Structure 1
Amino acid sequence: MIQQKRWASGMFDILVSNNNPILGFFYGKLQFRQALGYFWILSWALRSVPEICYASLPAYCILTNSTFLPQKLWLHASLFVNYNISTLSEGLKTGLSIRTWWNNQRMIRITTMSAWFYGFLAIILKRLRISEPVFEITKKNESSSYDGRFSFNESPIFLPSTTILFVQLMALFTSLFGWEPRVRNGLGYGYGEVICSAYLVACYWPFLKGLFGIGNHGIPLSTIFKSTMLSLLFVYLCKLSIIV
């Protein structure tokens, strides 16, 4: 995760500098397709912002009893199923197992909304001359019977993912026990929002297990406390938007 943050921050720093591929296309010798390729790679950190917003949207809709999906979900569902089937088939053709494919899918979500997001914040603060990025030393874990499990520490890099998990759990419990407010205008949330929220919980399953883990395989209490406060703030803002 720390290494992903370094990559994301370094590439985003290039993207917002005078050496970015857009300027290279207009004023340099980069071809259009080359510029697009470099831009796609260098925009890792940028992609974290809309992904966090989209991850928060299903929970927001459940907590406010609103919807962002159309009544007929067949088009969106077909796109989602088609994407997963195509990526799964590509993985199977290269010799990957279904479990490896699924681990890759959820690690994309976790990495984007945590490591890449912190890389984005680090460069924004640098460009605003508020703080400079600090080189973080990664600790190497010795091999043991727990190989393959997530290891946690008190690094803030685990805070966004833990918060997103808590928000989705709060939304699902709200839907399960019928705590959502009455519909004011239009339609309330439906199965689509619940499925999206449950899918995110499945993606963050290692963090859910980390809530009950011990030692390096458990999320520190400080991170749990901060994530709880941020989740409650999110719920409060959702309720406030209903009043307004």
Structure 2
Amino acid sequence: MVINTVLSVMAYEYPTEKLSIYLSDDGGSEITFYALLEASRFSKYWLPFCKKYRVEPRSPAAYFSRVAESFHDPLMATDWSSIKKLYVDTKKRIEKTTKQGQISDELRQEHKGFREWDLILIDGRHEKAMDTEGQPLPTLVYLAREKRPQYHHHFKAGAMNALIRVSSRISNAPVILNVDCDMYSNNSESVRDAMCFLMDEERGHEIGYVQYPQSFENITKNDVYGGSLRVIYEVELAGLDGNGGPCYVGTGCFHRREALGWKSMYFNPERKGFVGVSPTTLLQTLVQHKRWSEGDFQVFFSKYCPFVYGHGKIPLQLQASYCFFLLWAPNCLATLYYVAVPSLCILRGISLFPKISSNWILPFAYVIIAKYGYSLGEFVWCGGTFQGWWNEQRMWVFKRTTSYLFGFCDTILKSIGIARSGFVVTAKVADEEVSERYEQELMEFGTPSPMFNIIATLSLINLFSFVGGVKKIITDYYGEEVLGDELGLQILLCGLLVLINLPIYQGLFFRKDKGRMPNCVTYQSLILAIIIVAYLIA
């Protein structure tokens, strides 16, 4: 995956002598260095092939998976077969070395980098750095930074800073593209497109960076985990662009090396600039959003809060737009209230909302219909399905009651010195069984997690409360309208949450595959939910 991303950006439709690619590997892995060495050799054949036939996309894996060997041009058919064989052979060698877990003595003799930890694999400044057509190759650099326990390395930001320092000594290009290892370039014209903004005669001097949206190639039809973030990238970031510029999302972004707080630009072309891999399990998704929400909330608490650092520098509406994302974590408080308290109050017969027969119900009805009607229209307009929208609503509930809760608590604990900062990388590689269940849009549990305990316990509380509320109306009060009138909206909310949690009930009680809810989570959550409900009923 990493090597395909590297090859895709090496093959940009742009003067190669002006391109320098830096791979940041915090692990300092000899196997990754070897894989990059193999990529540098394959690039001598891949780049001429891409430019000769103007192929898209220019990630070999993505290209060969989409384009079959059926060409009217005999020469292209021959070249296609040859380059495909070279790629397969390169892939096999990398996979073989990876399985062995070490570099053989024979491979160590192939490049001095294994002995001297040399940075530069292809030096674009050297006359010998040519492809098979005699054209110059881009500079290719491997970077592994030193880490020490007593010094904070600042995670991804620290890696970016190290890359900026090293690149200033080698290439010192005025524009930097930051791409995650799993986000290959899908459009060979992306550099030219970004430069059109940065070099515009009228407004180019105002633009500090050009942000592309994240797109994912492994999203299922109904996007079971809401991983595409469709509305965020198609609507909300475009809205920020209208307010003065989008926020930096961490990948797919062209920066000026010298960015002076400048405006930013959001660019979402018809052909996606970058395509990556979305998490394929529920836990991966929740962990990813925990990291995002925690990092964003830390920014809000820091001196770089848009309302503080941006005061007098950017418009108020743009400050507020940034804070929409920075305040994801505190959303857990309101969501937890609505998910738990109204349902539990049903068991005690406590009414929290206006009566169904009261005119005060109209504002609630308007907000519910307007909010979700607009949300559905927005999602479908972005190319989604009704089931996809429903899956996204479910995921917002799950993320706000787990990911955002953990992110909120960790940020508070770190701010008072009780906990330390951590960074959990989201796994993007799944085994065959997990991939099959993902394609079938079956929600994947499988591994015990405190997040699953919270989700399962809340879902069971809502189920018990809904059953108890309906029983009170039908049995205890013989269908008396007063109770149904007072608790009607709460029971409706509780019933909606039960529908949202249907995959949880399936994972707890009905599924037999390895992706079901772990037994320990089932038992712990069931016991805790029963204790809470029994206490309220007593």
Number of residue pairs matched by the alignment: 235
- For residues 215 and 134 of structure 1, the distance between their equivalents in structure 2, rounded to whole angstroms, comes to 33
Task: Using the TM superposition, name which of 133-142 and 167-176 deviates more.
Answer: 133-142
Using the size of structure 2 for normalisation, the TM-score is 0.41
1:91-125 CA-partner distances (Å, limit 9, x unpaired): 22232221112111221111111211111122122
Change (3 A) 1:130 1:215: farther
Cα distance change of structure 1 residues 119 and 216 upon mapping to structure 2, 3 Å threshold: farther
Distance across 1 between alignment mates of 2:401 and 2:310: 30
* Alignment-derived partner of residue 48 in structure 1: 332
| Cα distance change of structure 1 residues 52 and 95 upon mapping to structure 2, 3 Å threshold | same
Residue 4 (1) aligns with residue 302 (2): no
Q: Which runs of 5+ in 1 are unaligned?
A: none
Residues 59-78 of structure 1 aligned to structure 2 (within 5 Å): 59-71=343-355, 72=358, 73-78=361-366
1:149 corresponds to which residue? 442
Q: Which residue of 2 aligns with 1:208?
A: 505
Counterpart of 1:164 in structure 2: which amino acid?
A: L
- In 2, the alpha carbon distance for the partners of 1:206 and 1:136 equals 26
* Aligned-partner SS, 1:19: coil
- What displacement does 1:190 show? 1.9
Aligned pairs for 1:130-209 (under 5 A) are 130-139=418-427, 140-142=429-431, 143-147=435-439, 148-152=441-445, 153-178=447-472, 188=483, 189-209=486-506
Distance 1:39 1:222, change over 3 A: same
2:336 counterpart SS class: helix
- CA distance 1:93–1:201, shift in 2 (3 Å): same
Structure with more strand by fraction: 2
Larger Rg: 2
| Deviation of 1:59 (Å) | 0.9
Distance 1:3 1:193, change over 3 A: same
Higher percent of residues as helix: 1
**One-letter code aligned to 1:114:** T
CA separation of 1:220/1:138 partners in 2, compared to 1, >3 Å: closer, same or farther? Answer: farther
Is the 2:304–2:310 Cα contact (8 Å) retained in structure 1?
no
In 2, the alpha carbon distance for the partners of 1:134 and 1:178 equals: 48
DSSP 3-state at the match of 1:33: helix
Task: Kindly report the root-mean-square deviation, in angstroms, between the aligned alpha carbons of the 2 structures.
Answer: 2.6
Q: Percent identity?
A: 24
Q: For the structure 1 residues 4 and 191, does the alpha-carbon distance in structure 2 shift closer, same or farther, using more than 3 Å as the test?
A: same
**1:112-168 superposed Cα distances (whole Å, 9 cap, x missing partner):** 112111111221222232222443354432321552221112121222211210110
Which secondary structure does the structure 2 equivalent of 1:29 belong to? coil
* Cα distance between partner residues in 2 of 1:162 and 1:134: 26
- The one-letter code of the counterpart of 2:436 is S
- How has the CA–CA distance of structure 1 residues 87 and 219 changed in structure 2, closer, same or farther, with 3 Å as cutoff? same
Deviation at 1:43, TM superposition (A): 0.3
C-alpha displacement of 1:88: 1.8
- 1:178 counterpart SS class: helix
Q: CA deviation at 1:226?
A: 3.0
Structure 2, unpaired ranges of 5+: 1-285
Task: State the secondary structure of the residue aligned to 1:45.
Answer: coil
Per-residue CA deviations over 1:16-75 (Å, capped at 9, x if unaligned) read 22221222244x623311221111110000111111012112212211101111112333
Which one has more relative contact order, counting CA pairs under 8 Å at least 6 apart? 1
Scaled by the length of structure 1, the TM-score of the pair is 0.85
Tell me by how many angstroms 1:229 deviates: 4.1
